[in-house]
Amino acid sequence: LEDLALRHTAYGVRPEDYAPVADALSTMIQTCCRSMPDPDCSAAWMSAYQHLADTMIALGYPHDDMENVPQAS
């Protein structure tokens, strides 16, 4: 995961870029899972993504102040 985070950083991905991806993931889950509306499943996906994003941000930007990074809505 550290290698992936460092590659994202090298590509120019900034911590604030992760929130729009989370929003897109949420929309995709809602769109693709209309026939199986399960709020627990959606919440689990979003929790997993947020954990992944938080970890990658911490690894890719260990010295940045993360208090002001937007979270997924």
pTM value is 0.75
Instruction: Return the closest-CA partner of residue 72 out of 4, 17, 28, 29.
Output: 17
Confidence of residue 36 (pLDDT cuts 50, 70, 90): low
- Say which residues have a Cβ less than 8 Å from residue 46's Cβ, sequence separation at least 6: 22, 25, 26, 29, 72
Residue 35: what residue type?
A: S
pLDDT class for 26, splitting at 50, 70, 90? Answer: confident
Distance between CA atoms of 50 and 31, rounded to whole angstroms? 19
